[in-house]
């Protein structure tokens, strides 16, 4: 019959036939998977179910689309996801990976696993890369970011983009973390009246709320570890350069990095491992021969000398009390806890860090825009003008003070910037983390990651109390946060950090602690009214 149709009719019939076929496949997939328990599911469990023919990647994809439909703009109304591939497109990717599995070809732990990306990472699959701003709602990159290429090669199914603090929280001094003009206000799955922190807000909320198994976020200072801690998940901020930054909307080449967000240390390591690889287009990129999964050791704390950084505490008494209780957990797992550690040379990098971020944001943003000639913007000044022209939609709650300060930087300030960058890196790294480790003969440092989630306040902005993120962020060193329990009904995290390229060491400690503490629990996903 199809041969008698004209070309337009034939295409219409083929699309209809394909849709009917897809509906049949979906019905079969869903009916076969109704008994599988996805709540808090781990990657190894999904892989085991697929290996045993209990699940297919198509079924897994379908489940997470349903979860997102149920709780992103309805139900808990998390506003965690900005965009999704058309379901048929995602299922087509899943079918290809199912066929590979049937043929005995398994790419690795991420084979057939759905992943969300923070909405500042380029993909060439028809998903816009917006940085959360309506100014970029029609920004469709022509190439995948390098880390996206690596994830696809590993068999991950990238299904969509997660909400974030607009422009990665570097637009205003009075922002509300997790708010963007594209996605609205991301909400904490444990209490939807409270913040997710930022800027990787949607990535954290989606993973914590079981809307997705894994997500990729990015950090300049705290944007991975803060939302992870506040939503009760794991995140690993790697050494700068371990994961390529090519194809990511930037703030600062000195501090920017992507990183994994997951509900367990093991799953975070699986995701990070899949992203690794040297990238010739990223000047900081380097080859890492280590398979980090080898560091997932249940006795990973045994014999490690761990310093308790007391000068990263004191801003929240209940947080400190929860942290104090973890010291015994560490000791019982074999760690040698060295208390009352303070940074031997103080923490004098804050002002210099701000200078570096402002200066590099202007130049790095211009470089990114130059790589995308279809965009109507070439500079930070162009973005400022567009924000002003569209203020009702992109700036209804707070302004663009950071944009303005960064745009005011000039070439005449280059030497000032270079000096600030050198001082900041030295103060946080060699004279900070490294010197403190050496002074006490330590392997790593710990502190509470950040305070419990504050109330969302679009009038006054964030109520940010303190964090352990800055030293590792400014130095470019790795930092892992793991759930350490709750302050009332709100999760909080324990931070592990050390010198450059010590991810393996930190993974051992973080995994050992996670196995000893088992502090993660799922949110109820019910909106709170107080």
Catalytic residue (one of 133, 172, 176, 199): 199
Instruction: Map tokens 């790697």 to a residue.
Output: 238
Strands across the sheet containing 114-118: 81-84, 157-162, 114-118, 214-219, 257-262, 234-237, 479-487, 490-497, 444-448, 305-309, 336-341
- Buried b / exposed e over 465-480, threshold 16 CB at 10 Å, is ebbbbbbbbbbbbbbb
Structure tokens at 406: 């960064």
Catalytic residue (one of 118, 161, 187, 362): 118
Instruction: Please say if 199 is a catalytic residue.
Output: yes
Q: What is the DSSP letter of 431?
A: I
Instruction: Please say if 29 is a catalytic residue.
Output: no
Phi first, then psi: give them for residue 3, nearest 5 degrees. Answer: -65, -25
Instruction: Please say if 118 is a catalytic residue.
Output: yes
Q: What is the number of helices (H) and of strands (E) in the chain?
A: 18, 13
- Are 113 and 214 within 8 A, CB to CB? yes
- Buried b / exposed e over 202-231, threshold 16 CB at 10 Å, is bbbbbbbbbbbbbbbbbbbbbbbbbbbbbb
Question: Which whole-number Å values give the CA distances from 356 to 160, 237, 278, 490, in the listed order?
Answer: 32, 19, 25, 34
User: Which residues pair with residue 161 across a beta bridge?
Assistant: 83, 117
Catalytic residue (one of 83, 175, 223, 254): 223
CA-to-CA distance for 267 and 235, rounded, in angstroms? 10
First to last CA, the chain: 62
Q: What angle is formed at CA 262 by the lines to CA 68 and CA 458, rounded to 5 degrees?
A: 60
CA-to-CA distance for 505 and 241, rounded, in angstroms? 18
Residues annotated as catalytic (active site), given as ranges? 118, 199, 223
């Amino acid at each position: 019959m199809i041969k008698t149709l004209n070309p337009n009719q034939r295409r219409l019939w083929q699309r209809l036939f394909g849709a009917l076929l897809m509906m049949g496949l979906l019905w079969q997939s869903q009916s076969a998977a109704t008994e599988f328990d996805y709540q808090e599911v781990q990657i190894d469990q999904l892989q085991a179910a697929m290996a045993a023919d209990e699940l297919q990647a198509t079924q897994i994809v379908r489940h997470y689309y349903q979860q997102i439909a149920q709780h992103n703009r309805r139900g808990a109304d998390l506003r965690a996801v900005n965009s999704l591939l058309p379901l048929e497109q995602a299922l087509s990717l899943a079918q290809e990976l199912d066929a590979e599995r049937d043929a005995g070809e398994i790419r690795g732990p991420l084979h057939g696993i759905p992943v969300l990306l923070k909405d500042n990472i380029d993909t060439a699959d028809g998903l816009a890369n917006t940085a959360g701003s309506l100014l970029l709602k029609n920004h469709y990159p022509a190439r995948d970011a390098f880390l996206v290429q690596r994830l696809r090669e590993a068999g991950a199914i990238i299904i969509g983009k997660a909400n974030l603090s607009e422009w990665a929280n570097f637009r205003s001094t009075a922002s509300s973390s997790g708010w963007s003009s594209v996605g609205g206000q991301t909400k904490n799955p444990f209490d939807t009246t409270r913040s997710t922190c930022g800027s990787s807000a949607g990535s954290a909320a989606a993973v914590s709320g079981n809307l997705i198994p894994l997500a990729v976020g990015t950090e300049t200072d705290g944007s991975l570890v803060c939302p992870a801690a506040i939503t009760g998940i794991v995140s690993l901020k790697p050494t700068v350069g371990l994961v390529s930054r090519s194809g990511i909307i930037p703030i600062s080449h000195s501090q920017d990095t992507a990183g994994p967000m997951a509900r367990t240390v093991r799953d975070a390591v699986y995701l990070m491992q899949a992203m690794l690889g040297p990238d010739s287009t990223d000047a900081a990129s380097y080859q890492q021969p280590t398979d980090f999964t080898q560091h997932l050791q249940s006795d990973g704390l045994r014999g490690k000398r761990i310093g308790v950084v007391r000068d990263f505490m004191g801003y929240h008494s209940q947080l400190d009390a929860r942290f104090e209780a973890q010291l015994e957990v560490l000791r019982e797992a074999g760690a040698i806890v060295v208390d009352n550690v303070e940074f031997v040379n103080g923490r004098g990098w804050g002002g210099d860090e701000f200078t570096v971020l402002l200066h590099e944001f202007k130049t790095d943003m211009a470089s990114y825009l130059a790589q995308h000639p279809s965009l109507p913007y070439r500079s930070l000044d162009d973005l400022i003008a567009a924000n002003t022209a569209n203020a009702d939609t992109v700036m209804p709650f707070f302004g663009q003070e950071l944009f303005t300060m960064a745009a005011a930087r000039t070439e005449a300030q280059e030497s000032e910037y270079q000096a600030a960058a050198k001082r900041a890196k030295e103060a946080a790294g060699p004279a900070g983390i490294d010197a403190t480790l050496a002074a006490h003969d330590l392997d790593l440092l710990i502190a509470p990651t950040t305070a419990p989630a504050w109330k969302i306040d679009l009038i006054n902005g964030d109520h940010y109390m303190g964090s352990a993120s800055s030293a590792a962020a400014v130095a470019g060193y790795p930092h892992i946060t793991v759930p350490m329990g709750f302050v009332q009904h709100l999760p909080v995290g324990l931070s592990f950090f050390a010198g450059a390229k010590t991810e393996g060491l930190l993974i051992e400690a973080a995994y050992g602690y996670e196995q000893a503490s088992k502090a993660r629990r799922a949110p109820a996903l019910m909106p709170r009214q107080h």
